[in-house]
Chain A
Amino acid sequence: MGRYIVRRLLWVIVLLIAVSMLTFIIFYTFPSSDPAALRAGRNASPAVIAEIRHQLGLDRSLLWQYWHYMKGLIPVEVHTKGSFGLGWHGPDFGYSFQNQQPVKQQILDRLPATISLAAGAAVIWLVAGIGVGIISAVKSRSLLDRVTMGGALLAISAPVYWLGLVCLYLFSKDIGKVHIFDGANSYTGITNSFSHWFGSLLLPWLVLAASFAAFYARLLRANLIEVMGEDYIRTARAKGLPERRVILKHGLRSAITPIVTAAGLDIGILLGGAILTESVFNIPGIGRAAYDAIIHSDLPMIQGTVLFGAFFIVTANLVVDIVYAFLDPRVRYS
């Protein structure tokens, strides 16, 4: 297992380097606007734009720019002047073209909002999805099952930003018809006030979780129904185990493995930023930063957010595979 994890970790590094190259090639060769011209402001003379272009290193070759960027990412520094030694300065992601702030700091500043959003939504969709999935599977083909599965299909079909707008229109405290939830723009950090933080995120959590919960419920229901037809379930029943135990202990254990995979990957993707939800509810998370960076061709910020998102995705993949090995003995021993 140890060797396996080490090999996977090395592969993670290779993947991240490949992602950074791809990002460079795509975003540097096809910028959506000229970052130098954007920074120079309106009516800037070509000489000024060229000067800024030179400052940003945009007049250098693609290869030089990539090397320059990657050099910053290496977190150790070798001192050769005076005494020889190694210095740790942490990875440097460069400075944003838009506001000259360090990219790393900006991403870290926005991380709490994104983590709050993703974690809260994940709790809701896992509880709701698994609960509804089990009930629907056990009472399959009943009226309750049909109604919830119909609702689940509807939830999967609704885009999250539209659902968000409709919920704001109906339930928000500022413009809603029924004043239940805090409206958009109300996000505050958890360190400011827990109750305010919780209240402001409740609606975004529910809206973001809706389609995930529906997807998980459908997935779990289908799996559980299939598993409940297996021979070992009949054996468990024949032993005289109570039905509740048969379902939760024997059936669910094997039916839930695909849910673990899906949950890991979905959370990994969301930690890289939930662009649509963040923009509807105006939550200052990483997704919004990435979107702004792309629209303004803020290349270091794009590179930072993409690498950040990719890091969460490959880490989630790794975690899922390891968890899987513990859940499923067949994987562990092969």
Chain B
Amino acid sequence: MSVGAADILHETERTGDGGIDSAVVIAARSPMQLFWRRLREDKVALVGLAFIVVLIVIALFAPLIAKAFGVSPYKQSTKVLDQFGSPTGPSSAHIMGVDPLGRDVFARVLYGARVSLEVAIVATAISVSIGVVVGMVAAFYRGWVDTIISRLIDILLAFPILLLALGLASACSLGNGCLKTNGVGRDILYVGLAILALAVVWLGRKASKVKLSGLDRSTLAGPLITAAVVIAIGLFMWQVPGQTSTLIKPGVGVVIFVIAFVNWTYIGRIIRGQVLSLREKEFVEASRSLGASNARIIFREILPNLIAPIIVYSTLVIPTNILFEAALSFLGVGVQPPQASWGQMIADATSIFDTAWWFMVFPGVALVLTVLAFNLLGDGLQDALNPRSRR
């Protein structure tokens, strides 16, 4: 993490004013310590963090909590509907009322937290990982690699994202599942991916011995083209009739796949920009002149400087991804019933919300509070990592 002298000065100055123990203050602090100090002072961010921790605990123990209240998210019952067959509101037995199928809203809100958090964490992790790797590769190797990646990002960014996500999600959720596999195609694809992985490892080892400029493009091309051809054959075979199974089945997996697929471009572009400027910095030059390998430069010199933007971006994108999942489920192509998701509950409530307000209000409030908590924490992290934007 790069924290300039100005920041450290700023820090000593501030705590020096308080005059608590100036002797300790002079001692050097690691960037991590400075970060924690700043975050600890941000009460609002801590509230957000506390809410998220509580939510994670609730999501983990959702079955136990539901059992403790004597409710289940899947049990349907006509007994809890009134004489016209409409759902009944909050009562001692069902503290958030029931839905039109007689299922307990409280239990479903609890289980909805699992979906939201799973998507928030997994989809964000996947899309950020893809973006970081792709962005770093593009900027570090430049040339045609960079051209292809940048143009691909341009194309994806020109695409109406929600339509793309809707299309992928509806294909995966409503059709017969997407990426239909016949066993042979899948196996060939896996072989291709394995060759690709081996090629990357081999190139990495080779690159760590040779200087960057000395890395011959033709040595790159051989294994990569082989891998590409095998993957293409695998993908082609994949579509051959007589499918036996689907790779991505309807449910949370689809939502995660879709969000990761459409979202990596933003972080990819940010990381590319960062690496483009970092690779020209003096400390990279110095490291290279000392004979450091490419791998060392990438992992030990450049990557640590990317941690702050990666954290800031991830916290910014988590709330967006939660809302994205809810929106897909609201539109009926995300998480599939009977599994509970907040977005899907709001969608179900749309037709009856004028009479059954509880069915609309509670999932919505849970959603808003969760997104709000992540936003609060994100703001706090951003300020703590980047003191110049301090508000």
Q: Which residues of A contact B (CB under 8 A)?
A: 15-16, 18-19, 22-23, 26-27, 29-33, 140, 153-154, 156-159, 161-162, 165-166, 168-169, 175, 222, 225-226, 269, 272-273, 275-276, 279-280, 290-291, 294-295, 302, 305-306, 309-310, 313-314, 317
Contacts and interface: CB of A to CB of B under 8 A. Distances in A.
The B interface, classified by DSSP as helix, strand, loop or mixed, is: helix
Contact of A157 (B154, B159, B174, B368): B368
Contacts of B367: 159, 162
Contacts of B171: 26-27, 30-32
Interface stretch (B76-84, B133-141, B352-360): B352-360
Contact of B391 (A16, A225, A313): A225
Given A18-B155, A222-B391, A165 B167 contact: no
A276 B319 contact: no
B164 A26 contact: yes
A295 B350 contact: no
Which among B164, B326, B379 has the highest number of chain A CB atoms within 10 Å?
A: B164
A273 B331 CA distance: 14
A279 B162 CA distance: 14
B257 to A, nearest CB: 12
A161 B372 contact: no
Contacts of B242: none
Contact of A33 (B175, B327, B353, B354): B175
26 contacts: A15-B154, A22-B155, A22-B156, A26-B171, A30-B167, A31-B175, A32-B175, A153-B372, A158-B368, A159-B326, A159-B367, A159-B368, A162-B346, A162-B360, A162-B364, A162-B367, A165-B349, A169-B360, A222-B389, A272-B160, A275-B166, A276-B327, A291-B166, A306-B160, A306-B164, A313-B160
A136 B353 CA distance: 36
B96 to A, nearest CB: 16
B330 interface: yes
Given A29-B239, A154-B372, A306-B163, A165 B353 contact: yes
Contact of A309 (B163, B333, B388, B391): B163
A159 B343 CA distance: 9
A22 to B, nearest CB: 7
B230 interface: no
Contacts, number: 143
A222 B382 CA distance: 13
The 5 closest A-B pairs by CB, nearest first: A309-B160, A30-B171, A32-B170, A157-B371, A157-B372
B312 to A, nearest CB: 13
Contacts of A275: 162-163, 166, 331
Interface in B333-391: 333, 343, 346, 349-350, 353-354, 357, 360-361, 364, 367-369, 371-372, 375-376, 379, 388-389, 391
Contacts of B166: 275, 290-291, 294
A157 B156 CA distance: 26
A177 to B, nearest CB: 10
A273 B178 CA distance: 26
Given A31-B175, A291-B331, A166 B170 contact: no
B172 A30 contact: yes
Interface in B139-163: 154-163
B194 to A, nearest CB: 24
Nearest to B160: A309
B224 interface: no
B227 interface: no
B278 to A, nearest CB: 22
A112 to B, nearest CB: 19
Contacts of B160: 269, 272-273, 290, 305-306, 309-310, 313
B178 A30 contact: yes
B323 interface: yes
Contacts of A273: 160, 163
B168 interface: yes
Given A15-B155, A222-B391, A306-B160, A161 B175 contact: no
A181 to B, nearest CB: 15
B162 A295 contact: no
B368 A154 contact: yes
Nearest to A225: B391
A26 B168 contact: yes
A19 B170 contact: no
A162 B162 CA distance: 17
Contacts of B389: 222, 226
Given A157-B319, A165-B353, A309-B160, A33 B391 contact: no
B178, B350, B357 — most chain A CB neighbours (10 Å) = B350
Contacts of B375: 153, 156-157
Contacts of B361: 166
B163 A165 contact: no
A306 B163 CA distance: 7
B159 A310 contact: yes
Nearest to B239: A29
A168 B357 CA distance: 11
Given A161-B327, A169-B360, A310 B158 contact: yes
A295 B360 contact: no
A313 B158 contact: yes
A208 to B, nearest CB: 14
Given A30-B168, A154-B372, A161 B330 contact: yes
A31 B180 CA distance: 12
A321 to B, nearest CB: 13
B108 to A, nearest CB: 16
Contacts of A166: 360-361, 364
Contacts of A153: 372, 375-376, 379
